[in-house]
């Protein structure tokens, strides 16, 4: 088991790792739309927050030697299911031809009151 960490994505907000490599897979903790350069949430629209969260996820995956094209499963937590179509549009744009298995659930509240959080499992 190996801990994955990068300064190109937000640091963990608690006692957990950005990702763990184990048994040929990368298990990524949920990424919220914190801009790592600013250290805060800058994006206000659900589209921009989705873009930032996936960018953060990509940075963690790349630090592990993987990438969005190797993601096999994601879980998307959104604060308002009415945002599903907007999130889906950006998600499809950023994942391209890769279409990992996915779950999407509405969460009552997310860290820092963001609009979404995305976690992933990828092939190493």
Residues 94-117 pLDDT 10s: 999 999 999 999 999 999 999 999
DSSP letter at 8? T
Active site residue ranges: 104
Q: What is the per-residue pLDDT across 21-30, written as a single tens digit (0 to 9) for each? A: 999 999 999 9
Calpha distance 118→48 (Å, rounded): 14
Predicted confidence at residue 113, as pLDDT, reads 96
Give residue 76's pLDDT. 98
Domain that holds residue 42: 2-123
pLDDT of residue 13: 80
pLDDT score, position 27: 98
Q: With contact defined as beta carbons under 8 Å apart, do 30 and 119 qualify?
A: yes
Q: Where are the alpha helices (DSSP H) in 35-124?
A: 46-63, 84-95
Burial class of residue 4 (count of CB atoms within 10 Å of its CB; 0-12, 13-18, 19+): buried
Contact 19, 29 (CB under 8 A): yes
Based on the structure, what is the number of domains in the chain?
1
Query: For the segment 34-65, what is each residue's pLDDT rounded down to a tens digit?
Result: 999 999 999 999 999 999 999 999 999 999 99
Residue 12 pLDDT level (bands cut at 50, 70, 90): confident
Q: What is the pLDDT of residue 56?
A: 98
Does residue 84 register a pLDDT over 90?
yes
CATH number for position 91: 3.30.1330.40
Residues 6+ apart with CB under 8 A from 20: 1, 2, 3, 4, 26, 27
Helix residue ranges per DSSP H, 4-121: 46-63, 84-95
């Amino acid at each position: 088991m190996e801990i994955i960490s990068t300064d190109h994505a937000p640091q963990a907000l608690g006692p957990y790792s950005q990702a763990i490599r184990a048994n040929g897979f990368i298990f990524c903790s949920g990424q919220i739309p914190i801009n790592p350069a600013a250290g805060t949430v800058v994006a206000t629209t659900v589209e921009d927050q989705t873009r930032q969260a996936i960018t953060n996820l990509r940075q963690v995956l790349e630090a592990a030697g993987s990438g969005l094209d190797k993601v096999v499963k994601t879980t998307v937590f959104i604060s308002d299911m009415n945002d599903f179509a907007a999130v889906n549009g950006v998600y499809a744009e950023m994942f391209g031809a890769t279409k990992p298995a996915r779950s999407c659930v509405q969460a009552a509240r997310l860290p820092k009151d963001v609009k979404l959080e995305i976690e992933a499992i990828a092939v190493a």
